[in-house]
Amino acid sequence: MTVIATNGLLKAQHQWIDDELQTDPLQILILNLMPTKLETERQFLQRFAAVDQDVAVTFMYPTRHHFKTVSRAAIVANYVSIDQVVDQSFDGVIITGAPVEQLPFEDVDYWHEFVAISDWTHRHASQTLYECWAAQAGLYQDFDIPKYDLPQKAFGIYAATTVDEHAQLMSGLSAGGLLKMPQSRHTALDLPATLPADLQVVAANAEVGPLVLTAPNQRAVYVTGHPEYTADTLAREYRRDRRKQLAVPVPQHYFKSPASTAVNYSWPDASRRFYQNWLTSLTLTKVGL
C-alpha cells in the first residue's frame, strides 16, 4: 500500500517522495536511535511500503543524545522530540536498536529519556514495538530483566525453531523455519527460569534464544533482532568491523557459501509478514475489535 513520511532526513533531502493516501493511515512514531539515520529511515519506509495498510511515519529523536554521525541541527529540524508530541497519540510506536548494548543501561546518555518515552508510549500508543537493544532496554525497564555479554557476537540470520502458533503476530509464520530474522548484538537476555506472568516468548531460536516476546498488559512487543534490515546490511557491518580489526564472526546462515560474498537473502518475506501482522493488530485496535 502507501507509506508517507511526515518528516525525516530522507524527506528533507527529497530522497523519499510520498504517494497520495487513499485512506486514513495508521500513525506510526519511530524513535530512531540508530547512528545510520538515513539508512534506517529508508529501511522502515520500504518495509511499510510492502504491507497492506496505509501508514504515516513520524521520526523522533532523544534530545539528550550526543550525535556523532549527523548534525544535531539537522535532526532537530527534521525530527520531533517527545515534547513536541507529548499530547498526541499514535497507533503504534517503534523504538529501534542502538549500538550501545555493551554499556550498562544507566550509562547510556539518553537512558532517562528512554524510560520517560517508553512510559509515555504505554499511555499514548496502542502498542510499542522494541527492537534489538531497545528490546533489552524495554524488558529491563518493564520486568527488571538484565542482559549479559555474549562470548561471541550473535550475528547472522536465524530461523525460529519454536513458535507459539496461537500468537497473532506469528500468523503465517508458525510453520518450522518460516520466521527468519537478522541478529547483530553482543549481549543477550538473562531470562529467569519462570517468566513474569505477563511476558511470553512467542518465537525463539535454539542458537540465539528468544526472537520475539510479547507483554499484552504492557501493550508491548520485544524483538531481539532487526527485521527491518535489507540484503547487504549485515555484510556492511561485517566489513566495517573487520576494518576496525574487531574479532567478529562471519555472519551465520547469511552468505550462500563459506567462500561466497553473495547473500542468501532469505528473510524479506518473513519480515514483511511480521510487520503486516503487527500493523493488523493495530488496525483491529483502531476499529475497536
The residue written with cell numbers 499530547 in the block is 87
- The tens digit of pLDDT for each residue in 149-198 reads 999 999 999 999 999 988 999 999 987 678 999 999 999 999 999 999 99
pLDDT, position 259? 66
pLDDT, position 176? 66
Q: Is the pLDDT of residue 4 over 80?
A: yes
Q: What CA–CA distance (Å, rounded) separates 239 from 228?
A: 19
> Between the CA of residue 224 and those of 33, 88, 211, what are the distances in Å?
15, 28, 5
- The tens digit of pLDDT for each residue in 238-248 reads 999 989 988 88
Q: Is the pLDDT of residue 93 over 70?
A: yes
pLDDT, position 257? 75
Residue 47 labeled ligand binder: no
- Residue spans of the domains in the chain: they are 3-288
Predicted confidence band of residue 266 (pLDDT cuts 50, 70, 90) = confident
Is 3-288 in CATH node 3.30.2320.50? Answer: no
Q: Could you write out the DSSP letters of every residue in the chain?
A: --EEESSSHHHHTT-S-PPPP-S--EEEEEE---S-HHHHHHHHHHHHHTSSS-EEEEEE--TT---SSS-HHHHHHHSB-HHHHTT--EEEEEE---S-TTS-GGGSTTHHHHHHHHHHHHHHEEEEEEETHHHHHHHHHHH---EEEEEEEEEEEEE-SEE-TT-GGGTTT-STT--EEEEEEEEEE---SS--TT-EEEEEETTTEEEEEEEGGGTEEEESS-TT--TTHHHHHHHHHHHTT---PPPBTTBSSTT---B----HHHHHHHHHHHHHHHHHHHTT-
Q: What CA–CA distance (Å, rounded) separates 139 from 148?
A: 13
Query: CA torsion angle for 40, 205, 156, 199 (degrees, to 10)?
Result: 30
Residue 72 labeled ligand binder: no
Q: What CA–CA distance (Å, rounded) separates 129 from 289?
A: 20
- The tens digit of pLDDT for each residue in 185-220 reads 999 999 999 999 999 999 999 999 999 999 999 999
Catalytic residues: 132, 226, 228
Longest dimension (CA), the chain: 54
Q: Is the pLDDT of residue 263 over 90?
A: no
Residue 153 labeled ligand binder: yes
- The tens digit of pLDDT for each residue in 13-59 reads 999 988 777 778 999 999 999 999 999 999 999 999 999 999 999 99
- Among 59, 53, 6, residue whose Cα is nearest residue 26: 53
